[in-house]
Every structure is written in C-alpha cells, then in structure tokens.
Amino acid sequence: MSRKLIVVVLASAIGLLAQPEKTAWEVLKQDLSDKNPDKRRQAVTAIGSIGLTQEAVQLVEKALKDDDPLVRQTAAAELGEMKSKQSIPALKTELDDPSGEVAFGAAKALWVLGDRSGRELIEDVLTGQQKTSDGLVGGAVRDAKRKMRDPKALAMMGFKEASGALLGPFSLGIVAAEQAFKDGSGGSRTLSVTLLAEECDAQTVRLLEWAFANDKNFAVKAAAAKGLGKCGNRDSIPKLETGLSDSHEAVKAMSAAAIIRLSLNPEQKASVGQPLAAAGL
C-alpha cells in the first residue's frame, strides 16, 4: 500500500472518529430505509429514545407513513413517549389509519399528550363495537366509522401495551396477565378502561359500570372496579358489591377497595385525590 493511500485511509478514519454524531445519524437513517420492517421499527424506537430534538421528531413522524403497520404503530407510541405535542396534528391523521392497531396507537399517544381526539376509538375498543341502540355510545356517523374498521383488528390491538398497564397499576403479576389475555382482546379492553379512567366524567362512569357488569375478562372487571373507585360515586357501590363474591381475587379485592374509597367522607376523599365532582359532591 502506497504512503499516499495510507494517508487517505487514515484521514477518512480520523474524520469518522471526529464526527461520531454524524455517523450515528447515518446508521439510524440507513436502518429507517431498510427493506426489513423489523430494522425500521428498531430504528424508530432508538430514535424515539433520543428525545425531543427536532430531527428525531421529524424522523419518527415520517415513520407514521411507513408501509408496515407495526412500524407506524411503533412511531405513534414513540411520539407519545417523547411527549411530542408538536406531533399532535400528525397523530390525528393516523386515527383514520386502515390498521386498527395503528389507529389505537395514535389514540393512546394523543391521550398521553392531553388530546382526547381518539376517545371514540378507545370507547369502541372497550365495548367491542357494541351496537349503539342501547344508548351506551351512539351516532350514525360513528356507526359508519366502525364498519370501516376491521373488527378483528379492533379486538386484537394493544396487547403489549395493556400487559404493561396490568403489570403496573393492577399488580396482577405475569401469570395473571397471561390468563387475563387468553381471550385475545382482553389486553386492549383493559388498556381502554385504564385510559378512560383518567377522564372522570359521566360518560366514563357509564362505560366503567357497563364494563364491570358485562365484561367476562377478570382483568377488565378489575380495571373497571379500580376506575369506578376513582371516578364513580355512591350510586356505583351497589354495582361494585356484586364483585365481592367474584371467583377471581383481583376482581374481589379491587371491588372492595373501590367501595371503601367511594365511602370516604369529603375530607378523606380530598386527601386521596378523589375528584369531588365524580364523587358526587
């Protein structure tokens, strides 16, 4: 190898070492355009971990238009984790994504960012496209939107995210979580209950009471009981009492805790952060 060539090679190597950030971005951008969707998804996750830099946000938003629905779903989730409020308009467009998983991921990300645009979708996941003739959730336009979505996808979305929700707020443990999700859609319904319970209004209370009374999945019932403890009022207590004889310990225990919380006096409610309006005061 000639001395001149050695100098050129060394100069190139030194240049790369002197610009590690530039090299790192090139690696990530290359992975984002890879033919393998798993590589693209991993790149989106990695870029999301960088945080709220302009370039990171732009690249993750761009991934919302990826051909692969899992990549799009990952991008939506990352924007929520990044707390990227500037991405709210981009996420709103994904509420109409043909993939139910992507639409739900966008709705969840928006919810985390304080935007409730995806509430209808979250409610639909909880009720399992329940017919609106019962007055629970209604509207001809909403019915039409539901029919456009794939019912199977709507039922199956959100499994991994819901697993995390269960292992945190409800402390059911891994075995219990696996049992809870045997019906396939239990995870997404549980996550929907968890999200809705962050918004304590009359519609939320109705949905939580409906889920507690009608859902056969113990994790959903336990989540609904916990939500009623936070958002319900004394009128919810008779409904919760049925859970005291439930065959599953999680439902029984959470029902008992909810009843106790709803029975607190005003001073006690304030000390535990009970929403006074929801508490019927």
pTM summary value: 0.64
Amino acid at 36: N
Q: How confident is the model at residue 239 (pLDDT cuts 50, 70, 90)?
A: very high
Question: What domains appear along the chain, each with residue ranges and CATH number?
Answer: 45-157 (1.25.10.10), 172-281 (1.25.10.10)
Letter string b/e over residues 176-208, b meaning 16 or more CB atoms within 10 A of that residue's CB: bbebbbeeebbbbbbbbbbbbbeebeeebbebb
In degrees, rounded to 5, the angle at the alpha carbon of residue 192 between the alpha carbons of residues 234 and 59 is: 140
pLDDT at 228: 93
Q: Show the 3-state SS of 165-197.
A: HHHHHHCCHHHHHHHHCCCCCHHHHHHHHHHHC
For 128-164, how does the pLDDT look when each residue is reduced to its tens digit (9 = 90+)?
Answer: 754 333 445 544 444 444 444 454 444 444 444 444 4
